[in-house]
Structure 1
């Protein structure tokens, strides 16, 4: 912006005399020039250079003083009074008034034509604006070069400080301080700080209305949001300046905002690309698409992974919490309050936090409602490591995602990452069948064997012929002969122990056992018959998703 001193250096004002406000020549800005006579009303705006002949005062100095007061109140910066025709001298009272209000009064010879004066002033203002535009464009290129050539937002902060004398603090959308000028920047958040008393807009710069001020520990801070495509990326904070920010300084601040937005967008793009590379790598590792060799280990190291450690594999299924035994797939029935992307974010964050808490390395990725985790462990502490890790993860996720549940399958890594994934996935599938939240592959041998038998039609027919009478009887009479047999078999045919556990009288239990023999045409003292009945019951329970362990 152009200051009054630069205006008065124009040749046309060579014989003009500054009568008041000499000490403010380098402080008062001039943005426009106009000719004004009585009345002033609202025809004068801020930072204006007003010219007058005083013709409307008719030699009345009281009226002239009121005119000067009205011009001062309008926010103008300087008044030029042409003397020699209607006003011959400027009274001391008017000069005193001007000095008290930091206002400049210039006495202009009558011979100076106002048209020439306006042309000269506009030339100076336009020249200054053109210089500012050129300087602004040069600084804009500096900001862009910083984004293109460095990976440090601190350089943007320092350049903004160099050109505006502000002490900015750049904060990302996680409210982490990324750059600052002061050695100990305060922790600032628009959510926690009270708004400072609002001020009337004193600049018509398009950026000005978006600047808000907040009180923090007896200091007023101004802030403006960094955004791109209507997405919040962070904030620039700075102590509220004692004087109004000039148009030029606001333009520099605008350039800094653009540079910060580009920096954070570029950073997000790099981070997103890295996440995709990691996801692709881990999925290929789990599916056995890549060969485990020294080349793969080198690629893993570039992504921050160490494949030489001992890992266990954990596969999780993301689903809605519904009634017990009902675990729908997340991808078929998404929760209303959490998108799959948000759920993945929370899970990944808590997985990382749990691993950090246990001082373990972890690799994690997602694939359509399934989370795949490789957790560093010791061979002899597989179950302990997995349970400790999952206890920490589940505790936090149960608080954060109340509508979302997780089932886990766990397997040790033996020959390959693919094998451990296949085994963990198999354990998960078995756990889902039985509504078990956490299943270890090593504990699923019987169930895996039973599952292979269920695929054979002849086995299925034998199962139904054997136990269907029991199931029909239990459904019709509201009894539980199946459970009675399983408890009897668990106690190796000991009637007394079984009766105690079932809270039954001995004779009542014997009656039930005779009923079982009658309905199935099997003898409970014949080992083969007992084996057949137990096998059929286990197959039926596994088929219907009932846990019998």
Structure 2
């Protein structure tokens, strides 16, 4: 805490000094500095300063001397020592009474004692004490750092901090959720954690006795209900990691040594959060690589692979539904995320993936099912635990939960899904992924954003895809549709889309015209063009089947390309 006035009086150079007033305070008043100050005092004296004076300029003026003493007392000095024998021969009774009323220490020193000798000896003692404090603070700093390096947690940091400061302390993360505390007011913690309702706000830390400490500018005062505490922000790499909260009984507890300890604790907390982030990022990368490998490669799921999965928190022996999503945004959002600024693009993608991962986890918890998820190039891969319920019902329920919340968090997001449940989902991760991707690609030919395509519903499309690779069939499709394709490209029309809609509404001209927002005569003109260019009749069942088959094979081919 520093040396006291009593320690100063016990120095050999002060053996002839006499305490006139304040004898009971010499053991409790600390001395942080010593100086020679004459009138006027102004702002030259600081708190806990031992003041030496000859009384020059005030010896013949009692009022001036009284004003001088009042100014010294109001500055927060620890004691005032007068050298008597030249300007002041005796400390006036009114000065002694003034000091007595304020419980202030007044000391008399013989004129022949040199101020320079007093200054030198006191500064040596202050320096020794400072060295002791620094060694003590360095020991605490090392103890806190070792606590983190040895794998201890935030609660251990709080315990060390409390043991050396005796001030209730707590640590909250960047979401203001309290992670650890020691003797901190539980009611305040409950408000911060949202357990109980209550208002809290930050207010400037003003009129505090620690304004001259470097940490002062970073301290904020926290008001929670009618209670107060202080807060320091934990930063690392310019990123806000959390907050260090401390609740002294009074500001007088926040001495320089205590503030130094808080500063070291701040460093230890920042190091802990950096370490925690690094571990978390490593785990995320390991999980991502594992799941991508599991999905995209036909791996032998032996005991070693199952054990590795278990270490990452996965149980591969359960049945899983595979859901593959293609992420798209509306044009405005695409432009924002596709910015030329790589940092903005990377940040946006990271944020998007974070929210999707969070909602996947949340939906799994709501349905009480395990989930495994990863991302790659705008694609999200999710494995969802299955049970005896139909996989279509389970998948829809799961995706409904995700998309309802995502639409509130990420405006303009659309995810098209391909879904598969291969061979009851047991140890068939690669096969399920391939089937889900196939379903996704087939669903894309519908040109609808946010659709869900189940592999079990794609048998006709898969049959057509197989047929589309036959050379003779490929030639028939080309001969049938080439005139329409060339006409659409040359005239900027859409005859193929017109036929698709016409066929969807079972050749009903009125319904087709409404769907395409065309006049009936304009639609009939388009249909006649289709017949003329292809040489097929839309009234002939065989011709209609040939045209429909050709269009569907052509669209599947486009999706594959």
Asked whether the two chains share a fold, i.e. TM above 0.5, the reply is yes
Contact 1:286 1:418 in 2 (8 A): yes
Instruction: State the Cα distance separating 1:310 from its structure 2 match.
Output: 0.8
Aligned to 1:267: 276
Aligned twin of 2:6? 5
Query: 1:465 aligned to 476, 479, 482, which one?
Result: 479
| 1:175 positional shift | 1.7
Conserved 8 A contact 1:16-1:107: yes
Per mean C-alpha deviation after superposition, the further-off stretch among 473-482 and 392-401 is: 473-482
Residue aligning to 1:305: 314
Return the offset for 1:275.
1.1
TM-score (norm 2): 0.85
Conservation of the 8 A alpha-carbon contact between 1:196 and 1:215: no
Determine if the alignment matches structure 1 residue 427 to structure 2 residue 439: yes
Match of 1:217 in 2: 225
Matches within 5 A, 1:224-243: 224-243=232-251
Structure 1 stretch displaced more, 509-518 or 147-156: 509-518
**Which range is displaced more, 306-315 or 138-147?**
138-147
Q: Which position in structure 2 is the counterpart of 1:133?
A: 134
TM-score norm. by structure 1 comes to 0.87
Residue number in structure 2 paired with 1:314? 323
Partners of 2:10 and 2:534 in 1: CA distance:
116
Q: Structure 1 residue 484: deviation in Å?
A: 6.4
Could you give the per-residue CA deviations for residues 348-398 of structure 1, whole angstroms, max 9, x where no partner exists?
001101111111100011112211110001255210111111111111111
CA drift of 1:91 comes to 2.5
- Residue equivalent to 2:203: 195
1:296 aligns with 2:305: yes
CA distance in 2, matches of 1:458, 1:89: 125
More displaced 10-residue stretch of structure 1: 234-243 or 15-24: 15-24
* Separation of aligned partners in 2, 1:162 and 1:114: 40
**Unaligned stretches of 5+ residues in structure 2:** 194-198, 515-519
Question: 1:508: Cα distance to partner?
Answer: 12
Q: Distance in 2 between matches of 1:507 and 1:130?
A: 99
How many angstroms apart in 2 are the aligned matches of 1:477 and 1:172? 58
CA distance in 1 between partners of 2:513 and 2:445 (Å) = 29
Give the whole-Å Cα distance in 2 for the aligned partners of 1:471 and 1:295. Answer: 54
In structure 2, the partner of 1:119 is: 120
> In the superposition, relative to structure 1, how do residues 90 and 188 fare at CA in structure 2: closer, same or farther (>3 Å)?
farther
Partners of 1:257 and 1:96 in 2: how far apart? 47
Distance in 2, matches of 1:473 and 1:300, equals: 56
* Alpha-carbon distance in structure 1 between the residues aligned to 2:157 and 2:170: 10
8 A contact 1:486–1:534 mirrored in 2: no
Deviations 1:235-288, CA, capped at 9 Å, x for gaps: 111225413321111111111111111111111111111111111111111122
Contact 2:327/2:378 (CA < 8 Å) preserved in 1? yes
| Equivalent residue for 1:535, pick from 516, 524, 549 | 549
Cα shift at 1:83: 2.5
User: Is 1:5–1:26's contact at 8 Å kept on the other side of the alignment?
Assistant: yes
Q: What is the match of residue 196 of structure 2?
A: none
In the TM superposition, what are the counterparts of 1:62-211 in structure 2 within 5 Å?
62-181=63-182, 182=184, 184=186, 185-186=188-189, 187-188=191-192, 193-196=201-204, 198-199=206-207, 202-211=210-219
Residue of structure 1 aligned with 2:399, choices 390, 399, 403? 390
Unaligned ranges ≥5, structure 1: none
Structure 2 residue matching 1:170: 3-state secondary structure: strand
Count of aligned positions = 538
Residue in structure 2 matching 1:416, options 412, 417, 428: 428
Check the 8 A contact 1:12/1:112 in 2, yes or no: yes
Task: Quote how far apart the aligned CAs of 1:129 are.
Answer: 0.5
Once the two structures are superposed, the pairs formed by residues 326-345 of structure 1 within 5 Å of their partners are 339-345=348-354
Give distance in 1, aligned partners of 2:480 and 2:437: 32
Q: What do the CA deviations read for 1:415-471 (whole angstroms, capped 9, x no partner)?
A: 621111111112222222322421111222222333344455654442243245567
User: What is residue 460 of structure 2 aligned with on the other side?
Assistant: 446
Q: For 2:376 and 2:77, locate their aligned partners in 1 and report how far apart those are by CA, in whole Å.
A: 66
Q: Is the 8 A contact 2:165 2:261 kept in 1?
A: yes
For residue 25 of structure 1, report the CA deviation from its aligned partner: 2.8
Supply the RMSD in Å over aligned alpha carbons.
3.6
